[in-house]
Amino acid sequence: MKNWQKTSLAIALATATAGAAFAAGHAAPTRGSGAYSWDSLAQFDSMDLSGVTVTVAGPWLAPEDDYIRRVFEPFEQATGAVIEYNGSDSFEQQILIDAQAGTPPNVAFFPQPGLASDMASRGYLTPVSDDVRETVLENYAAGQSWVDLATYDNENDQKDFYGVFYRADVKSLVWYSPDNFADYGYDVPDTMEELIELTEQIAADGETPWCIGLGSGAATGWPATDWIEDIMLRTQPPEVYDEWVSHEMRFNDARVTKAIETFGFFAKNDDFVAGGAEAVGTTDFRDSPKDLFSVPPKCFMHRQASFIPAFFPEGTVVGEDVDFFYFPAYESKDLGKPVLGAGTVAGITKSNEATEAVLAYLLTPLAHELWMEKGNFLTANTKVNTDLYASETQKALGDILLNATTFRFDGSDLMPGAIGAGAFWTGMVDYVSGKSAQRVANEIEQSWKEIE
């Protein structure tokens, strides 16, 4: 996830959950009370970790630092261990400095798996047991995806499993106005084929189906990379997506150029996008969805991640004025329901007798539920009580994760910066400005070769 998006996502989801009945204060509820999965705590009752301190570092600052401390309270009470959390707004830099100095925390929460992978390749992460791995496979929707995302090369270039994902975000969303859909007689599509038909139907009715903007200052172009990533996951198996992201497959492979052209179907047709195709590359992504709310509507759909309500008109209520649906998969391709998103992976950076127990605790439904009810938290853990989500909006987002058959991270964030935050971004602007998909893919491939 782009760094600025972290703040935007927090703002947006806080807005979406406004009015939800949050638990009073930050203290964890009394064991046995409420509708929490207290039974998942029983496995830790026999552990005597009295006198053991586990230092934990992560990116969460106030108020979320209190939320994660609250999450750990039942584990501390059950085992006698002490968990000390320290949040930093420069976590990505600090964790590497501490690891190189030999003074890392015991456990670290990595906002991006790329950083965790880099740490593992340097010998700064400790592999996690098969028991933890099996729990992920058993308890998480698309469990193999989450195992894959935490499996990295060690310092000997051998694969090991290094961590558990705790908290996730969803990008595979299309935003729309339920009132506009009802007024014009449009139905929410269940498949990509239906989404394409709906796009053509709206245009045939003399209306504009999409609002798309790639503008983002120095980061202009990134919204299109999310489109391409989602399309790649809907047209190719996940292992092909992984090969593309790691450059085991060339960027100008025909499968990639086809995905770019599929994006072009939506974005390069003057009848399909607000302002016409020439406006796509220059319209700021923050301004683009506002056309959903004009009267009459200037567009009917906007594909964007869960943070985008932060840029909706003031007073917009998610679930009433605007809603979302899953960016659908092709029924004809039989690739399940892939989801593009992000998440935070916890890994052991300095092991002691309690660190693996901490990771095992983070896989329990209870550890997720205690933050879920506070808001701004989604999980792929299938064992949680989803009624504890802070709002119906968050529950609906969580359902998308629970129904996923494949989960993958934002590919551009995992590519080298010169590609994912450089040539890929500018290439997408060039594409909507008139260059062919093949030419753009060839140029991005050349940029890859120049850094290898």
pTM score of the predicted model: 0.92
Total Cβ atoms within 10 A of residue 51: 8
Two tokens at 412? 């551009």
Tell me the average pLDDT across 40-49.
Answer: 97
Is pLDDT at 23 greater than 90 in this prediction?
Answer: no
pLDDT at 18: 34
Tell me the average pLDDT across 115-130.
Answer: 96
Local structure of 287: helix, strand or coil: coil
pLDDT at 363: 98
In angstroms and rounded to an integer, the radius of gyration of the C-alpha atoms of the chain is: 22
* Domain 3-170+345-407 in this protein, CATH class: alpha beta
Q: Do domains 3-170+345-407 and 173-326+415-451 have the same CATH topology?
A: yes
Tell me the average pLDDT across 108-125.
Answer: 95
Q: CATH for 173-326+415-451, among 1.10.8.50, 3.40.190.10, 3.10.20.600, 3.30.390.50? A: 3.40.190.10
Mean pLDDT of the chain: 94
Report the C-alpha gap between 405 and 388 in whole angstroms: 23
Give the domain ranges of the chain. 3-170+345-407, 173-326+415-451
Residues 81/354, Cβ–Cβ less than 8 Å: yes
Question: Which tens digits make up the pLDDT trace of 320-379?
Answer: 999 999 999 999 999 999 999 999 999 999 999 999 999 999 999 999 999 999 999 999
Task: Using alpha carbons, select from 394, 398, 402 the residue that is nearest to residue 319.
Answer: 394
pLDDT at 8: 40
